[in-house]
Amino acid sequence: MRLALVGATGMVGEVMRKVLVERGFPVTEFIPVASEKSAGSILHWNGADYVVRTLAEAVALKPDLAIFSAGGSTSLEWAPKFAEVGCFVVDNSSAWRMEPGIPLVVPEINSDALTADAKIIANPNCSTIQLVMALKPLHDAHPIRTARVSTYQSVTGTGKAAVDQLANERAGNFDGPMAYAYPIDKNCIPHCDVFLENGYTKEEMKLHHETKKILGDDSVGVSATAVRVPVQGGHSESVLVTFRDARPSLDEVRRLLASMPGVVVQDDPAAKDYPMPRFAEGRDEVFVGRIREDVVCDRSIHLWIVADNLRKGAATNAVQIAEHLISAGFLR
């Protein structure tokens, strides 16, 4: 198993390397790939040292699998070149997600979208992954009409520069580089990704479009407001789910969620037991709590969903996709 990890030295790449070891992914040849300025440096991983390669060098080595965490423009240019040499590509950017014929996969939901011929596979947006993990079991039993989502997103979703900005501000240093247009410490910024003509951001529209594709149902309406918060542990989402028909009982909602692989129901407010990024950090599960009936609409319920955006929201989901390629016999 010759594995190229594109973006190996970045924040998601670092978590990806950790997850590969934790899950015992069968790597026989590890090919770390990074920018030209990092090429030739040494990367220590899993007890050995590896030379960091350029993208061109990695393609020439004809890996079996390439996991990309290097941005959309890099993926658009280089993913097809890896695919041309017979390599499966799992791409963590938004470049390929809504392309027809490109599987957009959360393995617990739609691993059947993987085929031997689809060499490029899209890893969904981090916020979308945790949302659909909670919506899927509910939608299968009681079709959902709409999901209205407000996100509370960790600075890790922006990258190292944002983590550094938060750390600098908390240390009283406001002269350092800024990943955001405003201070993030003691602040909430309702601006994730760029604004579009419709007034929504790209991040918000990712939730709208990707949820439909993963659930395989264009009738599910998703409207979102995405907010960056001064948190480092993971993303949180407040979700108002409205069903097409009568809403299920809360006991059934909890039962359906608990039956979903990878979902943990954490819903005992009396004991102050509810999901928080502080405790989701470093975990692969999606945590759901604050489950309650809406007091305005008799077909709606509220959910509070939390997950580590660098793990299940990125690295872990990508590795799970690769594991399914192996179990299906597409990747050996």
The residues that are catalytic are: 126, 235
CA distance 21 to 44: 13
Residue with tokens 């240019």: 77
Helix (H) / strand (E) element for 165: namely helix 160-170
Backbone angles phi, psi at 260, to 5 degrees: -85, 120
Q: What are phi and psi of 166, to 5 degrees?
A: -60, -45
Long-range Cβ contacts of 34-43 (<8 Å, 24+ apart)? 34/6, 34/7, 34/8, 34/9, 34/10, 38/9, 41/9, 43/8, 43/9
State the number of CA atoms in the 13 A half-sphere of 321 facing the CB.
Answer: 34
